[in-house]
Each structure stands twice: as C-alpha cells, then as structure tokens.
C-alpha cells in the first residue's frame, strides 16, 4: 500500500499509462500511440514499469527521482514521435493534450527534484546543468509535436526536425555566414566598443567635467535607432564587415560606459579612506580597490553587449552587405520563402550568442570568485 506522499506518483504513472494508449488519427484509419505494437509499446511499458517500481518499492534520493521521472517523460515522448513516422497525425484529436500534459508534468517534477539536489560534487553539478537542457528540450519537443502532428505549413512554422535538416544540408553556407557576421563583424566591433566605453569611463571618473559633456552625448547616441545608424555606416565604411563593426561599436559603447561608471562609484567611503591612510594615489586605489569592485558591473556590461553586438551586426546586414552573412541569409531566404534556412540561420545566431554569453559567465566566475554574489550561486 503506497504511503500518502506516494499517491501523486501513483496517479502520475496511471495517468501516463492510460494516456499513452490514446489513438492518433491517420489517413488510413485510427492508430494507437503505444498499442500499435512494436518498439513504441515496449518503450512505454518499460519506462512506466521501471519508474513506478523504483519510486514505489525503493527509497531513492532526489537525484535518482529526478532522473527517473525525466527519463520516463523522455521515453514516452519518444514513443509518440515514433508514431509520426507511420503517418499518424493529431488532427481532430484533442485528447492528445492529456498525454502531453502528463509528459510535461512528469518532466517538471523531474526538473524540480534535480534542482533541489545540493552539494559541490560532480553529480549535483551535472544535475543542475541537466535542468536547463531538459527545459529547452521540452520546448523543442512541444514545438515538434504541434508542427508535425497538426501538419503546420512549413512557411508559417517549420518543425525543429526540418530546421535541423536545413542545417545539415548546407553547413558550408552557414559557416561562411557565421564567419562573415560573427568573426569579422561582431568580435572586432565588440572589442572596440567595450574597450572604448571602458576607457572613456576611466577618463570621466578622473575628470568630472567630462561627465557633464560626454554622458549626454553618449545617451543621445545610445538612443539612436539601429535602423537609422546602419545605412549611414554602410555609406561611410562600405558594404563589407567594417560598417557592421561600426554599428556594433555604437551599440556596445554606452552600456559599457554606464556600467563601468556605476562600478567605479560602488566603492564605499571607508575603503577609500583606508587607501588614503596608506598614502595610496589615484592609480593605486583604482587598480587595487575600485576596479576589482567594479568587475561585476563590467561583466554585466560585457554579457549584455555579447547579445547586442550580434543583433546589431545582423540588422546592419539588411542594409547592405556582400552576398554572405547571417542578416543577408535571413533577408534573402525570406524572399524565396525558404523558411527552413531562415530558422537555420537564426539557430546558428542563437547558439553563437549563447556560447559567447556562457564563456563570459565562466570568465566572470573565475575572475570574481571572491564576490559574495558569485560565492552564493555556487
């Protein structure tokens, strides 16, 4: 007899067990999601039996519970996707949402258990890393099921599988676009814009009169719309990567300027008085006290600019570029109604932006390990 805390688990597995055998409509009749025989049936039955047995007859920890519930949800979701290969659809069958709700609930409970795992070992760290991967996979899965199951026209919303096929079919084109946009435009523009913003912030901090003159100009430049800046930069610097890098410089300058100034002003009066009592000059106080204190603010600006730079470069390519680049690819493929390739370019941009953001996070953790906010998040 299961104990009261286990009753929701019994209900969950019973729900999944019944819902997994709901029919899927097909052109040649009615098929059943799991009961059509073959591999899907074995996957569903094995997942349900293993998950229910582990949770009802053992005392697993949070890590095991999270992995078991996530695995059950992934297994049943995979069985449903396998049915689409046989021609099944979801048209006219609203009961499929009961099954999707059960899968989402099981995966949600699994992610909740994984998030509650504490400790500094490789297991807890891997569990915390698995949570965002499962959440992102859940979004992609629901996207795939809706697009394929309801036969959504690819011109409106292609399924993730179609987008992935476009990535695999034209890797050289996507690599050339990535090199033109990210390597040639984003990285130089990001370095120049952030570097200029940092140096100007130091100059403003040293000379207060510059604050009254430069900050209003920086605010005005940051308020200029990118669709107005990009054509001007193209006329000034040409159609190649230089004009895109110039747009990136304009977009990344002001966030770095403002955040650096805020970080330099974050030092307390007691710390500054202590440095003065040691006869430290401006440079010594800046290097040993104020800049280390400002590092969290500077990294916030870098992380913000890592996404702004990519957006700016892509939008700038809409107004003139060689026949290569992410922005050019998006605009040209939209005109051809090749939406799969559009989403493939968006995927490459999203992965590049996320990777650059994650790299900056790792550098921030290594550089500001002493900061209370970083120590608390570990």
pLDDT tens profile 238-294: 778 888 888 888 888 888 988 888 888 877 777 676 767 766 677 777 777 778 888
Mean pLDDT of the chain: 76
Top mean pLDDT of 78-87, 94-103, 160-169, 202-211 is at 160-169
Contact criterion met (CB below 8 Å) for 110 and 67: yes
Is 360's pLDDT higher than 80? yes
Query: Which residues neighbour 298 within 8 Å (Cβ) at sequence distance 6 or greater?
Result: 198, 256, 259, 260, 263
What is the per-residue pLDDT for 24? 52
Query: Which residues neighbour 156 within 8 Å (Cβ) at sequence distance 6 or greater?
Result: 339
Contact criterion met (CB below 8 Å) for 72 and 47: yes
What is the per-residue pLDDT for 96? 63
Residue spans of alpha helices (H) in the chain? 7-19, 39-57, 62-84, 96-115, 122-149, 160-169, 171-178, 187-206, 208-222, 226-237, 241-264, 269-277, 282-285, 291-316, 326-335, 339-367, 372-377
Strand partners, 29: 26
What are the distances in angstroms from CA 349 to CA 233, 313, 342, 354?
22, 11, 11, 8
Top mean pLDDT of 50-54, 279-283, 314-318, 366-370 is at 314-318
Is 371's pLDDT higher than 50? yes
Structure tokens at 152: 């959504």
Strand order in the sheet with 29-32: 29-32, 23-26, 88-89
pLDDT band for 27, please (50, 70, 90 cuts).
very low
Strand partners, 148: none
Q: How far apart are CA 304 and CA 251, in angstroms?
A: 10
What the chain holds in terms of domains, given with CATH numbers, is: 4-152 (no CATH), 168-377 (1.10.3720.10)
Is 3's pLDDT higher than 50? no
pLDDT band for 32, please (50, 70, 90 cuts).
very low
Q: Which of 37, 26, 43 is nearest to 103 (CA)?
A: 43
Is 63's pLDDT higher than 50? yes
Strand partners, 26: 29, 88
pLDDT in tens, 185-212: 899 999 999 998 899 888 888 877 777 7
Q: Which of 187, 286, 279 is nearest to 241 (CA)?
A: 187
Q: What is the mean pLDDT of residues 290-305?
A: 87
Q: Which of 209, 191, 194, 73 is nearest to 142 (CA)?
A: 73
How many helices and strands in the chain, by DSSP H and E? 17, 3
Contact criterion met (CB below 8 Å) for 76 and 107: no
What is the per-residue pLDDT for 187? 92
This prediction has a pTM of 0.76
More confident residue, 24 or 289: 289
> What's the per-residue H, E or C state across 252-303?
HHHHHHHHHHHHHCCCCHHHHHHHHHCCCCHHHHHHHHHHHHHHHHHHHHHH
What is the per-residue pLDDT for 2? 42
Q: Residues in the chain, how many?
A: 378
Is 216's pLDDT higher than 70? yes
More confident residue, 207 or 43: 207
**Which of 151-155, 177-181, 219-223, 232-236 has the least mean pLDDT?**
219-223
């Amino acid at each position: 007899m299961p104990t009261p805390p286990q009753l929701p688990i019994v209900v969950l597995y019973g729900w999944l067990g019944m819902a997994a055998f709901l029919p899927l409509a097909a052109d040649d009749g009615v098929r059943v999601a799991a009961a059509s025989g073959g591999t899907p049936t074995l996957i569903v039955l094995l997942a349900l039996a293993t998950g229910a047995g582990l949770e009802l007859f053992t005392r697993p920890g949070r890590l095991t519970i999270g992995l078991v519930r996530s695995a059950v949800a992934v297994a049943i979701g995979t069985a449903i996707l396998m049915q689409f290969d046989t021609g099944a659809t979801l048209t006219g069958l609203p009961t499929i949402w009961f099954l999707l709700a059960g899968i989402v609930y099981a995966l949600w409970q699994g992610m909740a258990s994984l998030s509650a795992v504490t400790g500094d070992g490789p297991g807890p760290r891997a569990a915390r890393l698995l949570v965002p991967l499962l959440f992102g996979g859940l979004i992609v899965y629901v996207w795939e099921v809706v697009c394929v199951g309801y036969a959504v026209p690819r011109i409106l919303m292609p399924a993730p599988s179609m987008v992935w096929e476009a990535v695999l079919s034209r890797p050289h084109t996507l690599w050339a676009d990535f090199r033109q946009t990210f390597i040639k435009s984003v990285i130089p523009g990001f370095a120049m814009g952030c570097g200029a913003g940092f140096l100007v912030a130091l100059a403003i901090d040293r000379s207060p009169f510059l604050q009254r003159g430069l900050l209003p100009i920086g605010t005005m430049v940051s308020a200029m719309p990118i669709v107005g800046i990009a054509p001007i930069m193209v006329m000034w610097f040409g159609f190649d990567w230089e004009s895109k890098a110039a747009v990136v410089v304009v977009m990344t300058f002001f966030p770095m300027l403002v955040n650096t100034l805020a970080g330099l002003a974050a030092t307390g009066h007691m710390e500054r008085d202590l440095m003065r009592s040691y006869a430290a000059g401006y440079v010594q106080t800046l290097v040993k006290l104020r800049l280390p204190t400002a590092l969290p603010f500077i990294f916030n600006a870098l992380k913000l600019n890592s996404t702004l730079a990519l957006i700016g470069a892509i939008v700038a390519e809409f107004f003139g570029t060689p026949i290569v680049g992410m922005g050019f690819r998006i605009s040209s493929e939209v005109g051809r109604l090749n939406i799969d390739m559009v989403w493939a370019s968006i995927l490459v941009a999203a992965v590049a932006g996320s990777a650059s953001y994650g790299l900056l996070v790792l550098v921030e953790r290594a550089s500001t390990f002493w900061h209370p906010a970083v120590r608390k998040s570990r």
